[in-house]
Structure 1
């Protein structure tokens, strides 16, 4: 966190804690529900899949609207309300004796869709040049919460049962509410909305942007595959004589190994400018994993396949949002990331439905065969993706009175060295730039802006 000031450090750590505690509660169900859900009334593989993925549906639907709401009534009230909904859903699921009520609880958990409000708050209290670091800290907390959930979920379920897992998530949500109420710093200003939240007028353009649509579809398929796998994986491990109390011992080294393999991929991809090659390799790892599980039964082939899967998954989970941020037009990153996040959660919902339906009708090998085909289709589509050069995004204040002034300023800025895109928003009195940091001179741009407003 070098160069972050005390406010930014505090905001980054507190928001990461809130984000990760909530995601931990969601993720902990993945490794245990297929095992312990069999004790619920109405159990079936389809309903297991629906319960696992149900939170993704309400997350996908409410992610953008709650972000807009936070811009009108404040980030903190939306975060508190969202966490309260998450706690309520956890209590409903903890008290449930049927898979239907558990699914309702999961729907309520997902209704607390506060990711947009959290990221917008992070933008509000950070300086432009330090914002990527704060976002990276929050993003890293999600990966850590997933790894922790794979270990804590099986241990907690064995000790307290499925209801214990939900009670624990309710406690986490209440603790997060206390953190938001008492530890979250007061917002000192509001960041430009276009770069942090989805704007209604920008959504249509984002849905027509071919490269962004490829990335949105990619994250949808990635989380579809992840959720579908966990509909069957816990039961599969039990079939291979691995007791539920030992599942954490299986997941922990697997996830650590995947991180060890993923890090060199990230380093080489960035330093050697081979991002597209490694992006396609990561998707190929997912496909290979599905094919191995489908064709070669046995505990050790499953272990190797999952190591390949999580290596590819971790690489793509880190790469996809970074690519969305780079490809999104200047001044429209909030809209691009809003659609991306909704796609991510909708993929989790579809994965639960698909996993449960195929498992119930055709068995686990058919499910992994279907996932392999989906991965191959994604690989073919991703081969046409154009990876842009790395850019810096800037937001500068302007003072303009008319559309004509804005058009002239945009033209003047476009000809400056290093400027790739210019977007002027009169309503915000902001200028959004995508620039090549090696060529761009900020002082020169500020001089042009000052002259335009004179």
Structure 2
């Protein structure tokens, strides 16, 4: 990468992770305040935990589309300001209602799609995959760090301290945005990265994409619902004070991640992604069955390690499946709807989990996750075997700008190319290829051949 691209990648990864850390640090400690927060009920606590998912789901696609017109940085700045204001509102809240309002404002700063669009503006097509991999790795590390830091910050400064820290981190992200991240030469649509209006209807009707959207919804619904009761289980069943909960979360998250790696490698090398995914969903079903009876350190530790192994595997593999399944010109739209389903799942998990806790108790919360996981298992069983295609993007040489149709025909004729789309407006070539047979040199010959012929 060039120095400018390195600055863009590091800065945008930091902005993404700062926002995510602020939203997730509260997850492992929030329910411990159910008895002391004025106005709190299990339902309202669940609503407070999950409502940021609703506002984020409603606004992230509009934010991405609006940024094509008004610019990326102004929209990201607005999103970070909403995160800061929401965090301050929650920090100053004197009842659960104030925290609900604050969390809703935090989620309203839905800048994920805009950050990806700015990444596409600043990083060349050839290096964009590497930049996205860095951002993806940062997201995974941030989730682990947030789960560990939440109890530590809570021990030192209380629940309000987590919200104040989030506001401070939001301010740091604003400084990075304006003083570290480069300014793009221009903003243009990136249908391979962010949603475009024309692709929404098709993406909503594609059965395989719908199956994946249902899956990510259930996965995050289960995560949110489980954390309505897991912190309480650590206190009541294991008699572990809240300030020491990080001693549980850190090892189980690390072990869960390590268990995931061999499964991912096996799935890719043996082209066995569907069986591995179904196995992970089945593991999720088993964990939901085990958790209500996990009254000892050993049982709860095993259940949590297996839960996070399944969660990490599914969380890592499903976005790749969306990218492989979606038409090359609509990948950004498909990913946008996938993320929307994810955030709606967090909201549903908080609300439905709160209702289950109110009327049934702890077993009802785990029963909710169990029923949802069984539904997902049935849905996934009907999934078509995933393709093993990869998405590639390349800069469109200027001599080809007036010959999109001709270039598209030549590219579709290349060995290993399953689908090609050429866009002079975006100055880009988008391909869906089979990595095993795709010849990069043949592609370069085609792209440069027109220039040579004109010369």
Normalised by the shorter chain, which TM-score bucket?
A: over 0.9
The Cα of 1:28 is off from its aligned counterpart by 0.7
| Aligned equivalents of 2:174, 2:214: Cα separation in 1 | 33
| Aligned equivalents of 1:149, 1:429: Cα separation in 2 | 39
Against the structure 1 CA distance between its residues 408 and 185, is the aligned structure 2 distance closer, same or farther, given a 3 Å change threshold?
closer
The Cα of 1:444 is off from its aligned counterpart by 4.4
Give 1:364-443 correspondences, 5 Å limit: 364-385=362-383, 386-397=385-396, 399=400, 410-425=408-423, 427-428=425-426, 430-437=428-435, 438-440=437-439, 441-443=442-444
Stretches of structure 2 lacking an aligned partner (at least 5 in a row): none
Q: What is the aligned counterpart of 1:224 among 208, 217, 221?
A: 221
1:157 aligns with 2:154: yes
The Cα of 1:215 is off from its aligned counterpart by 1.2
Contact 1:48–1:99 (Cα < 8 Å) also in 2: yes
Instruction: Give the match for residue 360 of structure 1.
Output: 358
Contact 2:411–2:443 (Cα < 8 Å) also in 1: no
Give TM-score scaled by structure 2 length. 0.93
Q: Secondary structure at the match of 1:433?
A: strand
The Cα of 1:161 is off from its aligned counterpart by 1.4
Instruction: Give the match for residue 173 of structure 1.
Output: 170
Give 1:3-22 correspondences, 5 Å limit: 4-22=1-19
Contact 1:56–1:345 (Cα < 8 Å) also in 2: yes
Q: Deviations for 1:83-136, whole angstroms, at most 9, x for unmatched residues?
A: 000000000001111111100100000000001111111111112121111111
Query: What is the root-mean-square deviation of aligned Cα atoms in Å?
Result: 2.1
Q: What is the aligned counterpart of 1:142 among 124, 136, 139?
A: 139
Give 1:21-420 correspondences, 5 Å limit: 21-188=18-185, 190=187, 192-240=189-237, 241-385=239-383, 386-397=385-396, 399=400, 410-420=408-418
Against the structure 1 CA distance between its residues 19 and 129, is the aligned structure 2 distance closer, same or farther, given a 3 Å change threshold?
same
| Aligned equivalents of 1:31, 1:429: Cα separation in 2 | 45
Tell me how many residue pairs correspond in the alignment: 448
The Cα of 1:342 is off from its aligned counterpart by 0.9
Give TM-score scaled by structure 1 length. 0.93
| Aligned equivalents of 1:164, 1:346: Cα separation in 2 | 27
| Aligned equivalents of 2:393, 2:165: Cα separation in 1 | 42
Q: Deviations for 1:293-315, whole angstroms, at most 9, x for unmatched residues?
A: 13454443222111100001011
Is the deviation greater in 114-123 or in 181-190?
181-190
| Aligned equivalents of 2:160, 2:294: Cα separation in 1 | 35
The Cα of 1:5 is off from its aligned counterpart by 2.5
The Cα of 1:29 is off from its aligned counterpart by 0.8
Contact 2:93–2:99 (Cα < 8 Å) also in 1: yes
Q: Secondary structure at the match of 1:195?
A: coil
